[in-house]
Structure 1
Amino acid sequence: MAAPAPSKRRGSGGGEKKDLFHVVHKVPAGDSPYVRAKHLQLVEKDAEASIVWFWKAINSGDRVDSALKDMAVVMKQQDRAEEAIEAIRSFRHLCSRQAQESLDNLLIDLYKKCGKVDEQIELLKQKLKMICLGEAFNGKITKTARSHGKKFQVSIQQEMSRILGNLGWAYMQQNNYEAAELVYRKAQTIVPDANRACNLGLCLIKLGRDEEAVQVLEDVLLRRISGLDGDKAVARAEQLLRELGPITHVSSPFDVGLSFTEEIMERLDLVMNEWTPFRSRRLPVFEELDAFRDQMAC
């Protein structure tokens, strides 16, 4: 008597296991260059080999958006940030419009890692200008972001405040505390944050304005301002207050960066006053801002 043929249920078991493998390891299915690169990156943990296959994926047009971003991330982890910057600059034109914002965010991180503060500031200014002109978030007031595998909603206000915070930190790296103070103060009026308040307090200390610094830091100490990691911010505020004493006044000239900051702050005020969920994609205020394109391009 012939053996019974395997049931469909048994036959599908291998497929289910295979699907489970891809889910567990977060590796896409298939055998394309991009899939091989992800397998090398996530399963075999061979970063160098994965970079080679990410290059092959880009050159063959296989999921170029993801391949370029993933390759840049791996390069950054391998202390090859300079190469990652050049790769993004050279091949981002092959990527979709939807990928450009995440590429910009990745470039900012890479500039920060390489100590390229001028480039970081320029790109952050560009991102702020896009918000002012209604070109961020595709004209919407929220977007879906992802962090550590989890999705969450980010409002235009949160994004604006985050970018301003990064810009303030970049100015601090140049000892341009006047510009940093303006930027941090504006960020705090949009979405208050304890860590940014500590940075603002440090700016005020560097500018020799100790009494103002104490007021800002005490707000953190008394938890009047929240943040993602409030305990660390409180500890930092305590340390700054303990160290507060005779501070050498640090000054830096008001340069083009500062004049831009003052101007962009006014534009952001207009945006915040005009923006509501019920307005069209391109708000009237953005039409008014077109006249300022050249001035804000500095």
Structure 2
Amino acid sequence: MERVIRSNRRSSVGDKKELFHVIHKVPAGDTPYVRAKHLQLVEKDHDSAIVWFWKAINCGDRMDSALKDMAVIMKQQGRAEEAIEAIRSFRHLCSKQAQESLDNLLIDLYKKCGMFEDQIELLKQKLRMIYLGEAFNGKTTKTARSHGKKFQVSIKQETARVLANLGWAYMQQNCFAAAELVYRKAQTIQPDANKACNLGVCLIRQGYFHDARTVLSDVVNHRFLDGEESKAVSRAIELLREIESQPSISPMDIGLNIEEAINDWSPLRSKRLPIFEEISTYRDQIAC
């Protein structure tokens, strides 16, 4: 009888520990990485968590997760440049499967630091990987997370997302002609109201008011169905008002030649990526 009671007590203690790990999403064990996650998620001591993530990295304890988790905390603390240096220094020790998520993290960090040249170069690299069938580790979809929920992302969606980010980065450099080309390609793949508004801005900044009015009117007339349509409509209305306030002049001819502005993609086609049949004229390098 006593043995049964002791067994039940051990089982109860074990269940509580398991429940603790589930509730706090902390891995079980007693390693530097586990200690770091406990400090991060339970004790909310982010400075100490970073110290223990460094220890985990130095001893190779769950290297992929340790580097990514530490970089995320650094970003939250306003230490984005340190996070960039850490990823650049240690990513070669991480698995091949971790490289894509590290790239995505770097893109966000470059954006936060205003390192647009680096952001553009990495986005172009991601487009090359998509074109060659190397994205998603060779798969056609991947599982992503947002606000604790899992969802599937297709190659088509990823291509449109990367192109939209590339267009935004060009806009930050006032390279509106290059940004226009990229946004137009993104819209042929997966159109949405937010990209349409950014395309409208690119056209306005180049003096193409008639084209901008057409693009923005489509947003106002609810031609797009996306999750943030109401915000995009408000923005489109503002931009249309900006156009109306401009003097009535002919659009400026900037003499953009696509063949001169961008270099050829590789002539090879990936049979696994039919989406690139739609953007086969897109090129790899876009000159500002």
On whether the aligned pair clears a TM of 0.5, the verdict is yes
CA deviations on 1:201-220 (whole Å, 9 max, x unpaired) are 11111111111111111111
| Kept in 2: contact 1:220–1:233 (CA 8 A) | yes
| Kept in 2: contact 1:204–1:210 (CA 8 A) | yes
The answer to whether the aligner puts 1:217 opposite 2:199 as a matched pair is: no
SS of alignment partner, residue 153 of structure 1: strand
CA 1:176–1:148 in structure 2 vs 1: closer, same or farther (change >3 Å)?
same
For 1:250 and 1:119, the matched residues in 2 are separated by: 30
1:142 partner amino acid: T
1:61 partner amino acid: G
2:19 partner amino acid: L
Taking the TM superposition and a 5 Å limit, the aligned residue runs for 1:275-290 are 275-276=273-274
Unaligned runs of at least 5 residues, structure 2: 278-282
CA 1:74–1:274 in structure 2 vs 1: closer, same or farther (change >3 Å)?
closer
For 1:9 and 1:297, the matched residues in 2 are separated by: 68
The answer to whether the aligner puts 1:58 opposite 2:74 as a matched pair is: no
Root mean square deviation of aligned Cα:
3.1
| Kept in 1: contact 2:193–2:229 (CA 8 A) | yes
Residue identity (%): 65
For 1:297 and 1:206, the matched residues in 2 are separated by: 18
CA 1:50–1:255 in structure 2 vs 1: closer, same or farther (change >3 Å)?
farther
1:246 partner amino acid: Q
SS of alignment partner, residue 224 of structure 1: coil
CA 1:7–1:81 in structure 2 vs 1: closer, same or farther (change >3 Å)?
same
Find the counterpart in structure 1 of residue 140 from structure 2.
Answer: 141
Deviation at 1:19, TM superposition (A): 1.2
SS of alignment partner, residue 27 of structure 1: coil
Unaligned runs of at least 5 residues, structure 1: 278-282, 286-292
Taking the TM superposition and a 5 Å limit, the aligned residue runs for 1:257-272 are 259-260=261-262, 263-264=264-265
Find the counterpart in structure 2 of residue 174 from structure 1.
Answer: 173
1:108 partner amino acid: I
Provide the TM-score with structure 1 as the length reference: 0.84
**Structure 1 stretch 128-137 or stretch 91-100: which is displaced more?**
128-137
| Kept in 1: contact 2:203–2:209 (CA 8 A) | yes
Give runs of ≥4 in structure 1 deviating > 2 Å. Answer: 2-5, 7-11, 242-245, 247-256, 273-277, 295-298
Deviation at 1:251, TM superposition (A): 9.6
Find the counterpart in structure 2 of residue 36 from structure 1.
Answer: 35
| Kept in 2: contact 1:194–1:233 (CA 8 A) | yes
Find the counterpart in structure 2 of residue 124 from structure 1.
Answer: 123
CA 1:225–1:267 in structure 2 vs 1: closer, same or farther (change >3 Å)?
farther
| Kept in 2: contact 1:40–1:46 (CA 8 A) | yes
SS of alignment partner, residue 13 of structure 1: helix
Deviation at 1:276, TM superposition (A): 5.0
SS of alignment partner, residue 151 of structure 2: strand
For 1:276 and 1:180, the matched residues in 2 are separated by: 24
For 2:147 and 2:90, the matched residues in 1 are separated by: 26
Find the counterpart in structure 2 of residue 235 from structure 1.
Answer: 234
For 2:7 and 2:167, the matched residues in 1 are separated by: 61
| Kept in 2: contact 1:206–1:250 (CA 8 A) | no
SS of alignment partner, residue 225 of structure 2: coil
1:172 partner amino acid: M
Figure out how many residues of one structure are paired with residues of the other and give that number. Answer: 279
For 1:231 and 1:44, the matched residues in 2 are separated by: 40
For 2:25 and 2:203, the matched residues in 1 are separated by: 46
Find the counterpart in structure 1 of residue 47 from structure 2.
Answer: 48
Deviation at 1:49, TM superposition (A): 0.6
Find the counterpart in structure 2 of residue 89 from structure 1.
Answer: 88
